[in-house]
Structure 1
């Protein structure tokens, strides 16, 4: 109870309460915007030892067979006791040879870092791997689908693999191509993965019954493609097709990242390249690429610096990793476990 001589404090006015509330809400809004939009100063995932170029050295070795079929390259490897078959379709400007390391049996093979690691993951899980080169720079969706369908079926049968589950992965142009191949029930895919592409589903109302379970691996920085992926995922679900997505985010470079991924690059050169890229402003203070590798003048900067021999010959390998770090449009092996888990979950 208040004593008579104690006067209660005057209650704050409505204006004061409103003003204070606005200030608090505004401050909290700015705070949460800052923490949710800024880029982290540490990698979003750890570049663990299993992601290095030589991760599978003790268990898997490249030993591909090179053939010609219908005027195109056919490069493949079958592990002991294969459990499944995997067809891989490259993107525009790539070839079947980019999935395999250069060797006496394949002197024209290039072994791009992401491509080769996907093959090694597959062989490690005892998938027989088949790669085919497109007839032009990019895949076409007409006659070429029929030709490659025939090549795959003939190859599977001639190598005694007809009873095994058949999966497929295509990146970019190869993603459209794989989705078009899957449109034919004759192909018999157990599941497919479409990477950095929304797939060829022009008429989503005509997705066939029994279309194979489909995994989309895409980079959300490409917002337009992300929206198209979401639309096609919805159409596939409505058609009763099991579907899932894996989003592949950008990440910061580290001094050793390039040497961890590229066989021909030693640690010293990787550290020096990282320092050069930072000094040239190609990466920000947290290690993120400011632009896609294709749009960065890093080759000219490296040439001026003299860090690499003039005939180094691995520029394409470095650029693939810079593109991957930027996270807009590039082949990626970082989500290989997700992809092969998807394939294996639909092999029964």
Structure 2
């Protein structure tokens, strides 16, 4: 039996989900650029812990609690899993059984750009791939439309006008409400913005990798976004685990490199020394290093929202505490910059960010 069939046709035996009545009073929602859309400061990314590699009931518990705590935005992509597509299928099952009554209270996003199926039409930025991928994502997620549809990465081989034109078509067809891009360079972002404006479907949001150890959006991208009326939502705010307490004294660095896309070469002695310094600042603030990293990402001057990826309710609750601590003194910011502001070697998404 395929997972798509399972998500849609197997009856659910769990008790009905009723959302917390005070769910919208727990976080302060932020405007996405000059658009009318609001996002919570923390959004839940379903990249790695919501495929078939994790128990479905655990995933369901996390999503229910996240929504109860005011996280209204769930971020997916066609190839999230593992395996590819399974995160969308698992979410679709929860949409059908748990979240259908709350669909209009949620912001759902998905993306197309990375490899999804074999052959020349299963990746990158062609109109054929982008629109076909969206159709498949909607089917897996058990929804008629998403709120944000992204071009997941820039494609040097496809004209920007073709990729952005596909996003425009998705919006005009009613299969997405807003369009966005991810990991586009400042220059290609500006080009995409101009195309989108001419078509009449403005881009409202950019999703870049952004953390204390990966500052590339500060080198021009944020300026382009502000000038274009676009918001931003960061990913890898914890640098794939580097910015967590468990690696400050970990004698086995293999645990830090177990997840996809992590380059273990960044875990150098110099990086560890910087992490210890950042950990000391976090301790002074009464936070874990992970909490401070999230607070820093969504501080004034940072991103509109940042994605969190959690594997337990305990992790979710610890991350939520960070949303209330976006206050940094000038001294704290200066010390963080001294330790982490020039760590160019710690860039886990350099290739995708620099294309174009």
Q: Calculate the TM-score normalised by the size of structure 2.
A: 0.35
Higher relative helix content: 2
Higher-Rg structure is 1
